Amino acid sequence: MQDDTIQAQPLPMTGTIDSRNGSLGFEGGYPTDATVTKLYDELDFQRAVQAYLWAVPLVSFAQWQEQHEKVFGQQDGDLVFITTFRDRLGLLTCNDTTPYVIGFLNLQRTGPLVIEYPKGQTAGGILDFWQRPISDLGLTGPDKGEGGKYLVLAPGQEAPRDIGECHVVQSPTNNIFHAFRVLVPDPKAAETLMAGYQAYPYAQRENPRQTRIIAAGSRKWSGWPENGMEFWRLLAKMLDQEPVHERDRMMVAMIKPLGIEKGKPFRPDARQAKILAQAAVVGESMARCLSYAKRQPEARTWPDRQWTNTVMLEANQETEHHTALDERTAYFYEAVALSAGMTTKTPGQGQAYLGIEKDKGGHWLQGGNNYTLRIPPNPPVKQFWAITLYDVETRCFIDTPHELAGLDSRKRLVANADGSMDLHFGPTAPAGKESNWLPTLPGRGWFGLFRFYAPTEPYFDRSWSLPDVERVK
């Protein structure tokens, strides 16, 4: 027996038909003027929502680059040193355990670029502006932690003949991200590694400009656009600066009727601006669903636990038959930057990430509640593990007076007799357990990331597992 409510209905020659977009009218088979207006608005709105989801990684980097230039005064080749809790409040889901040294530049301005990379315990990389890795640097890069020179080329740029011994990498975009993390806790070692990092135009190799390491200095900044129209301004800016790749041509066509067109200024009229503003609200809401309520079967790390796989895409963002669109949006809405080392499948190398958004009972984690998490003995890491908490809205550290967002195995944590550790999350620390506690804020949801640095075989074969976060009543 068929359900008549789901059967398609033929369009009337003359008259109206009900749809999810309301009543649609026709005259002799032609849509009425009111229907034409309604459906064009709906068409542009749908396309804008999908364009929002598609553009998340590009716009995220564009915002970050502008903040580096405006707030920190960064120029091409400079790096910003992010180390304190306050420095990190603008950075999406950064860790609380290692300093970051980060820069952005435009290869059309610099021409072919030389990066002199230092020897040492670092994890770094060069990414294009779709946040795809061009090359890892350091331990997981071609230099294998031994340091070396890299020559970075923009689309259409050719390598000079006399480049000497270096690793040549070609960027698909004109703007690039370059950065590294120091994986040793010694501040003096970090200073030495930073001093050894140099980025300068190949044309200036005989007398290169010294790379500046700019201390973030706890200045207030944001790695995400402030409002909906700012998102579209940044998208228009980047589409104007960057080549359109074959995989993106259809999406670029979809936003042309909304006033976003390569080579033309972004000046949306009232109708376009209204649709774009509405699409940004729905687009970001959908991005939160994709990020916090993943629906892919492979999202669950263990079938009987709430832990989810944070990174569900390859570093190049491609699968055999399609670009990993939903997975890309999910990751780059809550995080920034992805490298080959962060998608490791080799025991003892790179990093791995698990996310937690719900407690054992399947309820969203809320800042007014108290929770515990037991870390079983012998976590499968060659280096160390870390857990960090984030605000659901900002995807950055939870901003509390304690200025504390993470715990890791290198800190002085209290262990149980069997080697396990009980961690505590909530607005106040349980008495006598302050060393194992992270603060949350009442009235605000939070989520956590558990990081494995150099994960070992029990992580990959799932023979070691994390229990769920449990609410303390």
Check the CA dihedral 72-78-84-88 and report its sign. positive
The pair of three-digit structure tokens given for residue 407, joined into one six-digit string:
């715990």
| Structure confidence at residue 60 (pLDDT) | 98
pLDDT of residue 91: 96
pLDDT tens-digit map of 406-436: 999 999 999 999 999 999 999 999 999 999 9
Per the structure block, which two tokens stand in for 298?
Answer: 């492979």
- pLDDT of 7: 65
Q: Where are the alpha helices (DSSP H) in 143-257?
A: 187-195, 228-241, 249-255
- Whole-number pLDDT of residue 182: 80
pLDDT tens profile 10-33:
899 999 999 999 999 999 999 999
Residue 200 has pLDDT above 60, yes or no: yes
Q: Which residues of 409-421 are buried (b: 16+ CB within 10 A; e: fewer)?
A: beeeeeeeeeeeb
Of the two residues 184 and 11, the one the predictor is more confident about is: 11
With pLDDT > 70 as the criterion, what percentage of the chain qualifies? 98
Identify the CA nearest to 450 among candidates 343, 346, 375: 375
Tokens for 355, please give them: 């996310």
Q: What is the pLDDT of residue 161?
A: 85
Residue 250, pLDDT above cutoff 70: yes
pLDDT of amino acid 232:
98
Place 5 in a pLDDT band, splitting at 50, 70 and 90.
low
For residue 1, the model assigns a pLDDT of 42
pLDDT tens digits, residue range 213-227? 999 999 999 999 988
- Report the pLDDT value the prediction gives residue 344, as an integer from 0 to 100: 87
pLDDT at 166: 92
Domains of the chain from N-terminus onward: 1-29 (no CATH), 73-215 (2.60.40.1610), 295-472 (2.60.120.600)
Does residue 184 have a pLDDT over 80? Answer: no
The span from the CA of 259 to the CA of 268, in Å, is 5
* pLDDT, the chain, mean: 94
Residue 53 scores a pLDDT above 80? yes
Arithmetic mean of pLDDT, 269-286 = 98
Q: Would you say 447 and 390 are in contact if contact means Cβ atoms under 8 Å apart? A: yes
Of 187, 211, 193, nearest to 118 (Cα)? 193
CA–CA dist 454, 145 (Å, integer): 14
Cβ neighbors of 17 (< 8 A, separation 6 or more) are 9, 11, 23, 24, 26
Output the six-digit token pair for 400.
Answer: 């509390």
Report the pLDDT value the prediction gives residue 3, as an integer from 0 to 100: 52
Taking residues 337-366, what's their average pLDDT? 93
Residue 31's pLDDT is what?
98
Read off the pLDDT of each residue in 334-340 and give the average, rounded to a whole number. 90
What is the distance between the alpha carbons of residues 87 and 220, in angstroms, rounded to a whole number?
8
Instruction: Please report the pLDDT score of residue 23 as a whole number.
Output: 96
What number of other Cβ atoms are within 10 A of residue 86's Cβ? 16
Predicted pLDDT of residue 207: 94
